[in-house]
Structure 1
Amino acid sequence: MPAPSRVLVPVDLSEGSRGLIDYAIQLATPFNAEIEIIHAWEPPQYVAPDLLVAAPGWNSQSLEQVAVDAATKELNQLVEAAQRSGRPIKHRVVVGEAAATVLRVAEEGKHDLIIMGTHGRRGLPRLLLGSVAQKIVARAHCPVLTVHLYDAAK
């Protein structure tokens, strides 16, 4: 198997995302691999993403735009801290169901490795929330490295 040259790092913006990004940088650096970090924002199924959000003295925006702007701000902060390593890192927020979006971005971007976190949920939480990592591992066109994200509060 050839060394990775394009690494995709999907993050959920949880506590463990910073550690996952640092890990991906450490892993990609010896190969001089490009790193792209994405966050997939999934519109809620019970609310229309084009629902307008407004407050007095504020221009109304769609729910999707407010959520994407907030996620972009968080992602920018994560990447800004990680770029102190000197490695150029591409990053963006994409809209869509998490697993399908990550798979689409990986194929379109010709990534040859996906490094992603997993929370290791079991039982009812896994049944209700599903496992994005499991879906990606099962369907990805390239190798997927999953890293267990530990909760800093534990």
Structure 2
Amino acid sequence: MPTPSRILVPVDLMEGSRSIIDYAVQLARPFNAAIEVMHAWEPPQYVAPDLLVAAPGWNPQSLEKTALEAARKELDVLIAPIDSPRPITQRLEVGEPATAVLRAAEAGGFDMIVMGTHGRRGLPRLLLGSVAQKIIARAHCPVVTLHVHEGK
């Protein structure tokens, strides 16, 4: 198996995202591999992404623009303190997360994906699906998954 040179790290911006990025950096370090941290925002099914969001004193913006700006800020906060031999790039995508990750991995020439899994079982998994499972089943490259413990 060839050594990784480009690692994609999809995160959901929930608790545990930082530990996944830290793990990817440690994995990439001996290979001097490039890391790209990605977040996929899926528009809610029950409202249009171009719905305007407004509050007193704000300029109205689309829900999509508001969500992507918030995600970009969260990614900046996650990545800024990380000591990595190479700069970590970031990417935001709109769409169903598993599909967006698979599309980005293929188009970007990534040779490894490092991501978290919440390990849900039963009804929560049935209702929420498993992004990690979909990616593992269809990825063109190796996928490393880390169990993310959810805060109580």
What interval of TM-score do these two structures reach, taking the shorter chain for normalisation? over 0.9
Correspondence for 2:91: 92
Q: Give the TM-score, by structure 1 length.
A: 0.95
Equivalent residue number for residue 141 of structure 1: 140
SS in structure 1 of the partner of residue 67 of structure 2:
helix
Match of 1:113 in 2: 112
Structure 1 segment 5-154 matched on structure 2, within 5 A: 5-82=5-82, 84-151=83-150, 153-154=151-152
Deviations 1:73-125 (A, max 9, x none): 1111001022x344310012211110000000000100000000000000000
Long gaps (5+) in structure 1: none
| Runs of 4+ residues deviating >4 angstroms | none
What whole-Å deviation, never above 9, does each CA across 1:1-46 have from its counterpart, x for those lacking one?
Answer: 1000000000000110000000000001001100000000000011
Contact map agreement 2:32 2:86 (CA 8 A) in 1: no
| 2:119 alignment partner AA | G
Q: Match of 2:70, SS?
A: helix
Tell me, in whole angstroms, the C-alpha distance in 2 between the residues paired with 1:70 and 1:86: 27
For the residues of structure 1 that align with 2:85 and 2:3, how far apart are their CA atoms?
21
Question: What percentage of residue pairs aligned between the two structures are identical?
Answer: 71
Q: Secondary structure at the match of 2:98?
A: helix
TM-score (norm 2): 0.96
1:31 maps to amino acid:
F
Label 1:33 to 1:86 Cα distance change in 2 as closer, same or farther (>3 A).
closer
Quote the RMSD (CA, aligned, Å): 1.0
CA distance in 2, matches of 1:26, 1:96: 29
Aligned AA (1:95): V
SS at match of 1:81: coil
Structure 2 counterpart of 1:44, one-letter code: P
Q: Runs of 5+ in structure 2 lacking a partner?
A: none
